[in-house]
């Protein structure tokens, strides 16, 4: 119950819109202690106080119901009034005919408000033929009986009227009376209200009246409401006047009545216990004379008579009038009798009249609906425009040209002009008048055609072909506003098609304003056709631009939650939606919904955050299993497509079942299951509710527990069948497809009508259960707003586009190429790619540091335990990296952003990729560490020898210094050099250093892998592990030729760098310089500091090369041009675009034949071009150099270094501090230590002085190198790392060479969404030698064969291609075509390809030659879903 009086009108409106028969209950649960302040109450009750009703001191807990109705109608615009009156009629409430003036001026004739009331009945004249009639009540020719009161009377006129109009077994309260809740409360503003109700017969023997009648009821005394009474006397066949007595006053009042043909009846009902007075009898005699009434027109209610007697007498008088009623007495135009009576007529307003004239201009031309549609809807029915085959492209273009060549028919021109020139409310009036007029015309046509069909079908000589034609004409007799809007859309589509083909210029466009008109209609709550019900087509461009306009008009705030209802025809789907959301989907208009219509519901600002959306888009669909489609061969496919489409668009799907026996729904459920299964495959999560209508028992939910279980069993069975049909493994039950709660998601709703229409009342259970269902839906929307966020209008447009194409081309059987899914996948791939690179960088960094540490290990610390410790550290790094990337993935899917719910099915692939990456990084890192470990171990012997040799040299240099110092004479530099040379040669001879041997690395094994394996297999012995070991040590002859010289060069280079004698010779100049410096007693500290900086130079340069590759990758991935490396999709787009710009046939050949090599070279070229003439590379080098120099400076300033005992101790500490970063050669360090007596602090400071100079030298040397040289030196090759990010698995289709598109690195099955013409993969006909133009998707469903090296050149059926290629999945779909890009390439280079591969050119379709370069490039965007 409402809590205060201000809530009562809203309470009435809410209940009425939900068709609740208790809507007129005005009881107010007004608990004073719980009410707000008196100020708040006063503010809330303004609605009543504006009509003079003071509620502050209102004692009653209720209001008079009709006061509420009057107040509400006065505060409503004319369109809401129409909706209120229409719903009141459905609830069998009497509706206002004359609304009393709220401001004390004129009352209002509610003719406009009643125009939307449509009734269907069977008069007794049609009972035998089982015919029926249907029309708006304002158009129906029927007698009107008015009931008024003169003076006061104890008899309840309204109560008597309810009994007159009610069946014996079914009492209905059409009119409020004093025995009803609130009926005994004093009227405040509804005095003078005239209500109207109707009786319509059903053609049965129990009908009260054989023909329809209208009944009016004047509230209040006729004397004080004379205008209303006068109006009723003009429109009524008879007026029944209730009075207690007739006196002079009554005679005076009645003498003013018009002497019209209206009959008057007097119902005299004295107060209880009293009889009719003599005065009354005398005055009645006077009335009989001057009002021309007979004795039969006077009904006397005796004290002994009950209400039943009076009701019978009234019924008999009405029936008597019915017998004398003639159709010529039509009173359709009720506005005329209002003239001169101070009664306002809405339809007489300038705006309404202007809109009516506009509608009349259109509808007056319509006589034969079918013929009018042919002449006016000239663009409809051209289904071929949706053709998608190559051979129909030209026809499609021609049709669009023909469509565009049509001038706008007069009817369509007038329709558009009305929208352009009428005001906002004028447009609403116009649409209403159009609806009324078109429905009226359609009904007349339908009645005539049905009568003709009935007559001819009863004629045994009638040919079936004529009946079929007549049946088709009946189907074509439907004409509604949707046909006009559809024709607008067709003209718009034709214009867009002409524009896209450059056949017209933008400036020549005529119909650009049409999408805006349709968008305004959507925002105003009018249904817009989504699926053309006649052609079963979605006009994509039209819908796209309408929804785009919608986004513009709402300022981008257009997040939509979509609700759809599906079910068998005529099961109350539209009524369910209308009742639930207060919509206006057409019902009971002589035709069922065709196609699908969408209506937009605006979410109030207060609820946007709560529901998480700005609009709710409700889609009403045509019924499945429609009788008019049942004879068509593809009716099942039609239903399947419709179900797939609307379920695919929906967030919530209501499956409407209008019977308790679910077995009859089996076909429908099968269709629905297929649709849900397909949505599961593409990641769309749709909520499903099963609504069982016409289940009236209060215990239905409990009683049907067994039925629900049976339904679930059927769903499981059909899911299993559907999964097998669509080749979906692992799906056995309905719960595998979607979340379905058997208790919460099954709803039981009583039938709409209580009794037999047209006089049946709406059941209260229907309204209550629909309200609960609505509440459940809204609660669900609140809970799922994060998990399954709504789409915005742009995403919804994309989704419609992709979904329609998938349905149209039947692509669901194997794969669904949806751009929203692709976009969501690309977004995640971009993020995942970055996470992968961060993980990879962390491991690379660890490997780099660990390798450096291993190379700095001494023989006594280099053992297996050390390697084990490093491996443990690696596991920590790998664990942290895996954990971080896994958490990022989990969070990404939990956040439910970027349409991530659509790619839920790929979630596991990404997690598998993390594991795969971890294992790959682990394997590489372990191999690198093992390699560094064994190399370092191998170097120890050489290093030990070299150390001993160097020690001897050091001693000899010291001896030479002492010897030279003891001489008496001065020695010149020349003499010192000679002395050093003699010492050096003598020492080298004494050391007897043997040169390191160079081994020939060439292998003699020439046997190929295949021959070796064949030999072992043919021995028929058991497998032995040694076979693999042996095989791993073999090299194919070709590999030897390519690599043996390189390995030999590598070995010789290593010897050159590590041969002890060569190494000593390299050190000779530095030994000489040290010797001279020490002897001449120059500043040793500076010289040795400079010498140490030279020791650092190769180590620092190596450090730069170790880090530069990684930094280059980071730089590329964060640059403005990074988009091409963020995902495989963008990369492929860039490469193919570049290929097309080159227009070089050999580049295409290399791309397909050596795919990975081509991509690596392409990336390398890209890197070279990027850094060749840019200062960015120098910036990266400076940054790395600065980083390591800072580390060196920090080490030199550290307390440990400054407290070193001597220079040797300082340098040892220095190398220890930098052991994770630099590998400093101890051969060079030993020379710095030699005879070095410098002070520690001074030496440390001198090193820092010479470091900048060393920096400059390093940078100078690096700048002299070209990019190729630098790329050859860097440890991490940027081209390889970038290639890993974008190549995927790198596998190509064995036929057309299209690369695999499967996500992640660990997938076991390769696939590509669109294959290429096989000629591009070098396939040609073995008979004609022509290159093939077919694509794999077509061939794998054909009877063709292929042969290649894998089949030993034997023919093998394409259908069984997986015998040889079990890891490839090619979708068997003949409707898929190659992209325009590859058609263009094939056509352009056809002859060159043939010449290159020594075959004949392909015989290509002529249409391919018309594809332009621009179209080819545009098709890349479509193929890769790039905006």
Tell me the Cα Rg of the chain.
47
Return the number of other C-beta atoms located less than 10 Å from residue 867's C-beta.
Answer: 18
The pLDDT assigned to 759 comes to 86
Over residues 481-506, the mean pLDDT reads: 84
* Residue 758 preceded by cis peptide, ω within 30: yes
The pLDDT assigned to 649 comes to 87
The model's pTM is 0.66
Burial class (CB in 10 A: 0-12, 13-18, 19+), 459: exposed
Is the model's pLDDT at 631 over the cut of 70? no
Is the model's pLDDT at 125 over the cut of 60? yes
Out of 766-770, 875-879, 966-970, 1360-1364, pick the least confident. 966-970
- pLDDT-derived band at 993 (thresholds 50, 70, 90) equals low
Is the model's pLDDT at 88 over the cut of 90? yes
Is the model's pLDDT at 812 over the cut of 60? no
The pLDDT assigned to 428 comes to 92
- pLDDT-derived band at 969 (thresholds 50, 70, 90) equals low
Cα 488 from chain centroid (whole Å): 27
- pLDDT-derived band at 132 (thresholds 50, 70, 90) equals confident
Please say whether the beta carbons of 1126 and 830 come within 8 A.
Answer: yes
497-545 residue pLDDT tens: 888 777 788 888 888 999 999 999 999 988 888 888 676 778 889 999 9
Portion of the chain with pLDDT greater than 70, in percent: 77
Rounded to whole angstroms, the Cα distance separating 1093 from 1256 reads 12
Contacts of 1399 (CB under 8 A, 6+ apart): 1324, 1329, 1330, 1331
Residue predicted with more confidence, 1230 or 393:
1230
Out of 419-423, 426-430, 650-654, 903-907, pick the least confident. 903-907
Rounded to whole angstroms, the Cα distance separating 1293 from 1301 reads 10
- pLDDT-derived band at 1077 (thresholds 50, 70, 90) equals low
Report helix, strand or coil for 688.
strand
Q: How is 139-150 classified by DSSP, letter by letter?
A: G----EEEEEEE
Is the model's pLDDT at 318 over the cut of 90? yes
Most confident listed range (2-11, 748-757, 843-852):
843-852
Contacts of 1236 (CB under 8 A, 6+ apart): 1084, 1088, 1207, 1208, 1243
Over residues 53-77, the mean pLDDT reads: 79
Please say whether the beta carbons of 622 and 570 come within 8 A.
Answer: no
Residue predicted with more confidence, 593 or 364:
364
List the structure tokens of 124: 């007794």
Is the model's pLDDT at 1155 over the cut of 50? yes
Over residues 860-881, the mean pLDDT reads: 85
- DSSP lists the bridge partners of residue 1345 as 1357
The pLDDT assigned to 406 comes to 66
Rounded to whole angstroms, the Cα distance separating 645 from 538 reads 10
Question: Over the chain, what is the mean pLDDT?
Answer: 80
Cα 1255 from chain centroid (whole Å): 57
The pLDDT assigned to 38 comes to 35
Out of 203-207, 274-278, 518-522, 904-908, pick the least confident. 904-908
- pLDDT-derived band at 949 (thresholds 50, 70, 90) equals low
Is the model's pLDDT at 819 over the cut of 70? no
Rounded to whole angstroms, the Cα distance separating 706 from 713 reads 11
Out of 469-483, 627-641, 669-683, 978-992, pick the least confident. 627-641
Rounded to whole angstroms, the Cα distance separating 215 from 198 reads 6
Rounded to whole angstroms, the Cα distance separating 1022 from 1039 reads 29
Is the model's pLDDT at 357 over the cut of 90? yes
The pLDDT assigned to 190 comes to 92
What percentage of the chain's residues is helix, strand, coil (to nearest 5)? 60, 10, 35
Is the model's pLDDT at 372 over the cut of 90? no
| Counts of helices then strands in the chain (DSSP H, E) | 52, 22
Please say whether the beta carbons of 666 and 632 come within 8 A.
Answer: no
Is the model's pLDDT at 671 over the cut of 80? no
Out of 150-159, 403-412, 763-772, pick the least confident. 403-412
Report helix, strand or coil for 107.
strand
Rounded to whole angstroms, the Cα distance separating 234 from 231 reads 5
The pLDDT assigned to 1046 comes to 55
Rounded to whole angstroms, the Cα distance separating 148 from 476 reads 47
Please say whether the beta carbons of 138 and 332 come within 8 A.
Answer: yes
Return the number of other C-beta atoms located less than 10 Å from residue 932's C-beta.
Answer: 20
Residue predicted with more confidence, 10 or 147:
147
The helix-helix angle for 907-966 and 864-895 (nearest 10°) equals 140
Please say whether the beta carbons of 204 and 184 come within 8 A.
Answer: no
> Judging by DSSP bridges, how do beta strands 596-602 and 263-268 pair with one another?
unpaired
- pLDDT-derived band at 34 (thresholds 50, 70, 90) equals very low
Dihedrals φ, ψ of 812, to 5°? -70, -25
Portion of the chain with pLDDT greater than 90, in percent: 24
The pLDDT assigned to 41 comes to 34
The pLDDT assigned to 1001 comes to 42
Rounded to whole angstroms, the Cα distance separating 335 from 333 reads 5
Residue predicted with more confidence, 102 or 21:
21
Over residues 469-498, the mean pLDDT reads: 81
Residue predicted with more confidence, 253 or 1003:
253
Is the model's pLDDT at 49 over the cut of 60? no
The pLDDT assigned to 808 comes to 64
Rounded to whole angstroms, the Cα distance separating 1305 from 914 reads 9
- pLDDT-derived band at 1051 (thresholds 50, 70, 90) equals low
Is the model's pLDDT at 932 over the cut of 70? yes
Is the model's pLDDT at 817 over the cut of 50? no
- pLDDT-derived band at 361 (thresholds 50, 70, 90) equals very high
Please say whether the beta carbons of 920 and 844 come within 8 A.
Answer: no
Out of 340-344, 1002-1006, 1404-1408, pick the least confident. 1002-1006
List the structure tokens of 418: 């009305």
- pLDDT-derived band at 392 (thresholds 50, 70, 90) equals very low
Is the model's pLDDT at 1113 over the cut of 80? yes
Is the model's pLDDT at 621 over the cut of 90? no
The pLDDT assigned to 1032 comes to 58
């Amino acid at each position: 119950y409402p809590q205060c009086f201000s809530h009562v009108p809203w309470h009435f409106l809410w209940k009425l819109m939900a068709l609740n028969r208790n809507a007129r209950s005005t009881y107010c649960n007004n608990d004073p202690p719980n009410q707000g302040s008196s100020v708040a109450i006063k503010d809330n009750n303004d609605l009543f106080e504006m009509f003079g009703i003071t509620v502050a001191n209102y004692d009653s807990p209720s209001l008079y119901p009709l006061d509420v109705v009057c107040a509400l109608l006065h505060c409503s615009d004319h369109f809401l009034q129409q909706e209120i009156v229409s719903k009141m009629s459905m609830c069998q409430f009497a509706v206002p005919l004359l609304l009393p003036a709220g401001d004390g001026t004129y009352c209002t004739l509610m003719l406009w408000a009643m125009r939307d009331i449509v009734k269907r009945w069977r008069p007794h004249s049609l009972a035998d033929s089982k015919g029926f009639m249907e029309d708006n009540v304002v158009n129906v020719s029927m007698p009107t009986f008015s009931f008024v009161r003169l003076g006061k009377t104890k008899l309840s006129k309204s109560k008597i009227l309810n009994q007159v109009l009610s069946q014996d077994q079914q009492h209905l309260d059409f009119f409020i009376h004093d025995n009803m809740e609130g009926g005994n409360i004093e009227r405040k503003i509804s005095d003078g209200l005239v209500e109207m109700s109707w009786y319509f017969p059903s053609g049965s023997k129990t009908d009260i009246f054989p023909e329809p009648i209208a009944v009016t009821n004047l509230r209040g005394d006729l004397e004080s409401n004379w205008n209303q009474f006068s109006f009723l006397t003009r429109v009524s066949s008879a007026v029944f006047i209730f009075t207690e007595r007739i006196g002079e006053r009554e005679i005076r009042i009645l003498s003013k009545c018009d002497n019209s043909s209206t009959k008057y009846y007097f119902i005299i009902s004295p107060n209880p216990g009293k009889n009719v007075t003599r005065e009354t009898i005398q005055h009645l005699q006077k009335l009989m004379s001057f009002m021309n009434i007979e004795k039969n027109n006077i009904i006397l209610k005796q004290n002994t008579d009950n209400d039943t007697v009076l009701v019978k007498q009234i019924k008999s008088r009405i029936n008597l009038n019915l017998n004398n009623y003639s159709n010529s007495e039509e009173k359709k135009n009720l506005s005329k009798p209002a003239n001169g009576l101070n009664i306002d007529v809405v339809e007489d307003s300038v705006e309404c009249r202007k809109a009516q004239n506009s509608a009349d201009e259109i509808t007056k031309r319509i006589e034969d609906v079918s013929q009018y549609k042919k002449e006016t809807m000239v663009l409809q029915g051209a289904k071929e425009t949706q053709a998608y085959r190559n051979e129909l492209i030209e026809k499609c273009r021609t049709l669009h040209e023909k469509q565009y060549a049509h001038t706008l028919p007069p009817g369509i021109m007038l329709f558009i002009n009305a929208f352009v020139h009428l005001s906002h409310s004028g447009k609403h009036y116009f649409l209403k008048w159009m609806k009324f007029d078109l429905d009226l015309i359609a009904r007349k046509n339908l009645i005539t055609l049905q009568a003709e069909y009935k007559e001819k079908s009863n004629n045994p000589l009638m040919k079936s072909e004529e009946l079929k034609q007549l049946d088709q004409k009946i189907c074509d007799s439907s004409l509604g506003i949707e046909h006009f809007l559809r024709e607008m859309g067709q003209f718009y589509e034709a214009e867009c098609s002409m524009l896209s083909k450059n056949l017209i210029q933008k400036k020549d466009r005529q119909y650009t304003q049409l999408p805006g008109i349709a968008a305004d209609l959507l925002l105003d709550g009018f249904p817009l056709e989504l699926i053309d019900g006649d052609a079963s087509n979605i006009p994509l461009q039209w819908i796209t631009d309408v929804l785009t306009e919608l986004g513009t008009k709402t300022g981008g705030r257009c997040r939509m939650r979509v609700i759809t209802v599906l079910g068998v025809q005529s099961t109350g789907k539209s009524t369910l939606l209308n009742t639930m959301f207060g919509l206006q989907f057409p019902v009971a208009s002589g035709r069922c919904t065709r196609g699908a219509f969408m209506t937009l519901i605006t979410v109030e600002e207060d609820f946007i955050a709560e529901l998480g959306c700005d609009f709710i888009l409700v889609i009403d669909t045509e019924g499945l299993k429609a009788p008019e489609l049942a004879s068509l061969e593809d009716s099942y496919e039609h239903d399947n497509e419709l179900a797939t489409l609307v379920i695919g668009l929906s967030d919530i799907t209501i499956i409407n079942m209008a019977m308790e026996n679910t077995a009859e729904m089996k076909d429908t459920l099968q269709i629905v299951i297929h649709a849900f299964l397909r949505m599961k495959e593409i990641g769309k999560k749709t909520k499903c509710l099963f609504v069982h209508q016409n289940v009236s028992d209060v215990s239905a939910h409990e009683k049907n527990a067994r039925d629900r279980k049976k339904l679930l069993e059927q769903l499981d069975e059909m899911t299993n069948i559907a999964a097998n049909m669509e080749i979906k493994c692992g799906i056995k039950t309905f719960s595998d497809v979607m979340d379905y709660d058997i208790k919460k998601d099954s709803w039981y709703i009583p039938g709409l009508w209580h009794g037999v229409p047209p006089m049946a009342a709406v059941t209260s259970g229907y309204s209550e259960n629909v309200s609960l269902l609505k509440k459940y839906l809204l609660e669900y929307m609140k809970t799922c707003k994060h998990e399954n966020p709504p789409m915005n209008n742009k995403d919804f447009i994309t989704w419609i586009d992709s979904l329609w194409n998938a349905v149209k081309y039947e692509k669901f059987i194997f794969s669904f190429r949806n751009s929203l899914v692709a976009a969501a996948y690309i977004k995640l791939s971009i993020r995942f790619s970055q996470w992968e690179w961060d993980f990879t960088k962390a491991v690379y960094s660890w490997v780099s540091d660990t390798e450096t540490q291993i190379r700095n290990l001494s023989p006594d610390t280099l053992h297996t335990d050390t390697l084990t410790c490093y491996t443990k550290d690696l596991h920590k790094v790998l664990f942290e990296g895996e954990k971080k990337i896994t958490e990022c993935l989990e969070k990404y899917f939990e956040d439910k952003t970027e349409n991530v719910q659509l790619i839920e099915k790929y979630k596991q692939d990404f997690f598998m990729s993390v594991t795969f990456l971890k294992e790959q990084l682990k394997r590489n890192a372990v191999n690198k560490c093992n390699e560094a470990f064994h190399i370092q171990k191998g170097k120890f012997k050489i290093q030990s020898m070299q150390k001993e040799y160097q020690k001897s040299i050091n001693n000899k240099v010291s001896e030479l210094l002492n010897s030279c110092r003891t001489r008496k004479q001065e020695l010149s530099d020349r003499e010192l050099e000679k002395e050093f040379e003699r010492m050096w040669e003598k020492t080298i001879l004494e050391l007897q250093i043997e040169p390191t041997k160079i081994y020939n690395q060439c292998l003699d094994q020439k046997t190929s892998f295949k021959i070796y394996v064949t030999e072992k297999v043919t021995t028929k012995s058991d497998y032995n592990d040694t076979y693999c070991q042996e095989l791993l040590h073999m090299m194919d002859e070709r590999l030897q030729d390519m690599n043996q010289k390189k390995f030999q060069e590598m070995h010789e280079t290593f010897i050159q760098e590590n041969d002890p004698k060569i190494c000593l010779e390299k050190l000779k100049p530095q030994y000489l310089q040290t010797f001279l410096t020490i002897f001449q007693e120059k500043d040793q500290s500076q010289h040795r500091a400079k010498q140490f900086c030279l020791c650092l130079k190769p180590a620092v340069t190596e450090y730069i090369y170790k880090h530069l590759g990684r930094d280059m990758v980071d730089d590329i991935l964060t640059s403005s041009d990074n988009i091409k490396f963020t995902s495989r999709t963008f990369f492929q787009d860039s490469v193919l675009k570049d290929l097309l710009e080159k227009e070089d046939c050999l580049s295409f050949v290399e791309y397909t034949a050596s795919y990975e090599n081509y991509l690596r070279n392409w990336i390398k070229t890209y890197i070279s071009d990027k850094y060749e003439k840019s200062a960015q590379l120098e910036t990266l080098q400076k940054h790395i150099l600065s980083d390591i120099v800072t580390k060196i400076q920090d080490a030199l300033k550290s307390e440990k270094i400054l407290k070193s005992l001597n220079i040797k101790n300082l340098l040892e500490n220095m190398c220890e501090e930098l052991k994770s970063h630099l590998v400093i050669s101890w051969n060079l360090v030993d020379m710095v230590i030699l005879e070095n007596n410098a002070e520690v602090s001074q030496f440390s400071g001198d090193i820092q002085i010479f470091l900048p100079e060393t920096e400059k030298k390093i940078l100078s040397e690096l700048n002299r190198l070209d990019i190729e040289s630098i790329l050859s030196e860097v440890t991490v090759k940027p081209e390889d790392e970038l290639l890993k990010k974008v190549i995927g698995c790198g596998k190509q289709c064995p036929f057309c060479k299209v690369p695999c598109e499967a996500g992640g690195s660990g997938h076991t099955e390769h696939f590509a969404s669109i294959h290429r013409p096989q000629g591009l993969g070098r396939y040609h006909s073995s008979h004609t030698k022509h290159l093939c133009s077919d694509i794999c998707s077509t061939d794998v469903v054909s009877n063709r064969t292929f042969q290649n090296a894998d089949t030993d050149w034997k023919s093998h059926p394409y259908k069984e291609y997986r015998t040889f290629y079990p890891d490839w999945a090619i979708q068997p779909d003949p409707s898929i075509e190659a992209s325009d890009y590859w058609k263009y390439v094939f056509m352009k280079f056809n002859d060159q390809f043939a010449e290159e591969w020594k075959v004949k050119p392909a015989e290509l379709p002529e249409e391919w030659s018309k594809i332009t370069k621009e179209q080819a490039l545009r098709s890349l965007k479509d193929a890769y879903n790039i905006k």
